[in-house]
Amino acid sequence: MGRPRFISIHATPPGGWYEYAIGDDVVRDRSRFRIAEAANKLREKHGLPTSHDPFIFVMEYMCPMLPDGFCTVPTAIKSIRAAEVKQNSVPLTQLPCATSDVIENRLITCVNCPKHRTRGFCMDCTGLLVWLGQLFGTRRPPLSVDHATGVCECELNLVAASASVADRPPMTGVEYPAGCWRTAKEA
């Protein structure tokens, strides 16, 4: 089958960043050409073979972390569409809000959850945080942890929206991970 490659060499990965790492030594860039150069330099630094086409290393590294269909090899990563996430989040902003301390505790749980995804959903750089703030209006204050949030892969909504709802039972047919605040009794 060969090395994994992007189906379209010109496609930008979700989130807009290319990345390559050897151990804890990570390089990132928005430019396909600069990341290729950085990957070759990193491999050289670690005594690994380089290539006249170092972008192959970047693709091989990134493909297992990208949504299925982005690369020539399948992955278990589900593609999440921003339009669907926004559509699922809007109704939540119309419901009664929990208190700030409850919301903050929920968000801290969400940020540490394996089903929490920020890749492709940067709350600040996409404008999602401002958009969400406008929908909530004065009913929900901005919280410092909001900047670290993203999408709940279980419910396909913004966790800053779902964690803000005062009382909403878990969704039917959704399997929440262990430790999820949605299935735990809150004090």
Q: pLDDT at position 1, please?
A: 58
| pLDDT tens, position by position, 6-17 | 999 888 887 788
The amino acid at 152: C
Token duo for residue 150:
């993203």
Backbone angles phi, psi at 147, to 5 degrees: -65, -25
Residue pair 51/59 in contact (Cβ under 8 Å)? The answer is: no
The amino acid at 35: I
Strand partners, 28: 19
Report the alpha-carbon distance of residue 39 to residue 21 in Å, rounded.
8
| pLDDT tens, position by position, 32-76 | 999 999 999 999 999 999 999 999 999 999 999 888 889 999 988
Q: Is residue 187 over pLDDT 60?
A: no
